[in-house]
Amino acid sequence: MKRCEKCRTLYSEEAAACPKCGVKEYEEAPAGEKPDKGSVARDWIWLAVGIPLFIGLIYLLVYVIKLLG
């Protein structure tokens, strides 16, 4: 599938230009793939890594304070 750069209409590979507005510029539109899917997955990775790291940092801080006090 192709996606028109101008009007975002999805159209067939065989078509030379957009059937709606006639613009020839297009981008590849893979079936069943949403453009924001990748960024959502990246956010979850950051949460999965960031939260344990944050907890670990607090434990380290408490340990250092106990060591000094």
> Candidates 12-20, 24-32, 33-41, 42-50 — which segment interacts with Zn ion by CB under 5 A?
12-20
Closest contact distance (angstroms) between CB of 30 and Zn ion is: 19
Task: Indicate whether 21 belongs to the interface with Zn ion (CB under 5 A).
Answer: yes
Contacts of 16 (CB under 8 A, 6+ apart): 24
Contacting residue, 6, 24, 37, 42, with Zn ion by CB under 5 A: 6
Sites of contact with Zn ion (CB under 5 A): 4, 6-7, 9, 18, 20-21, 23
